[in-house]
Every structure is written in C-alpha cells, then in structure tokens.
Amino acid sequence: KESPRFDWSTGFSFAEDLQGDALKGERTASRMFGLLGRYYRAVYEREGPPGEADLSGYAEAAREAADRGEPSSQVYFYLCYLLASASQNAERPEKLSCLSRGFKFLQVRAAAISNVALRESFLQNPTWNNRLYKAARENKLI
C-alpha cells in the first residue's frame, strides 16, 4: 500500500529544513524563535522605544529570511514594521518599506494557492497574516 503524498510546501519546519541552504546553518524554527525573541527584547525589555540598532538588525534579518525563501518572512517584515512604528521616529522610511515587502511576500505565497476560498482563508485567518493584511489596507497598499 502506497503511503499518502504530502505537500512539502505547507510550512512545516522539518520540511523547510530539507530544502536549500537551511541544512548548512541553523534550523528554520531556531531562526524564527530567535527573531521573535529579538523583537520581544527590543519592545518589552528596554527603557524607551526601540533604537536604531534594533530596527536595522531586524530589517536585515527579515531580508535574509526572505532571500532564503522562509515561509515566515512576511511575519518578520510585519514585526519590523511594528518596530519602526514604535521607534522614536515613527515616520521612518523603513516603516512602509518593511510593510510593503512583507505584504508582497504574503501576496506571492497566496498567489500559489489556486483555490480562491483557500487563498482568502490564507490571507485572513492566520493571525499574523490578518494583521499584515489589515496594516497594508490601512496604509493604502491594497
């Protein structure tokens, strides 16, 4: 009896680690939790708003994740947008740049879903995708 076939592009980190250069470095889940930890420290464990080093480091990490094709890249760009929004200069160019890149990455991933209902579900139901979608709409990117 043949085993069921799986769609390896669904976002499971063990499958993500099997592709490309992910095997050469740290695992996808480790990178993801590292970036989430970096965001938490920048926002909640410091006095005052996030600084320039927090924002530039996070933006660079988000770009690297997108270059590797990590499925969570849109979340990293959204968190970069939130960091820029909370920084001392909330009207930074990085703010809309991060939002735009994150939304573009989300759109590219959504475009790969042929079923319209599933595509809309992908854009609206996952919490981070929903927040990114709303922020893009509020900033007139849609």
DSSP one-letter string for 32-86: HHHHHHHHHHHHHSSSSS--HHHHHHHHHHHHHHHHHT-TTHHHHHHHHHHHHHH
Query: Comparing 33-47, 72-86, 95-109, which segment has the lowest mean pLDDT?
Result: 33-47
Residue 30: what pLDDT? 76
Residue 26: what pLDDT? 66
Residue 19: what pLDDT? 55
Flag whether pLDDT at 10 surpasses 90: no
Percent of the chain with pLDDT over 90: 26
In this predicted model, which residue has the larger pLDDT, 132 or 90?
Answer: 132
Q: How far is CA 103 from CA 4, 40, 48, 53, 131, in A?
A: 33, 22, 28, 23, 10
Residue 32: what pLDDT? 80
Contacts of 85 (CB under 8 A, 6+ apart): 95
Separation of CA 32 from chain center: 9
Query: For the chain, what is the mean pLDDT?
Result: 79
Residue 87: what pLDDT? 76
Spatial distance between the Cα atoms of 29 and 65, rounded to a whole number of angstroms:
12
Flag whether pLDDT at 17 surpasses 80: no
Mean of pLDDT values over 86-108: 83
Task: Look up the pTM and report it.
Answer: 0.75
Flag whether pLDDT at 64 surpasses 90: no
Residue 18: what pLDDT? 57
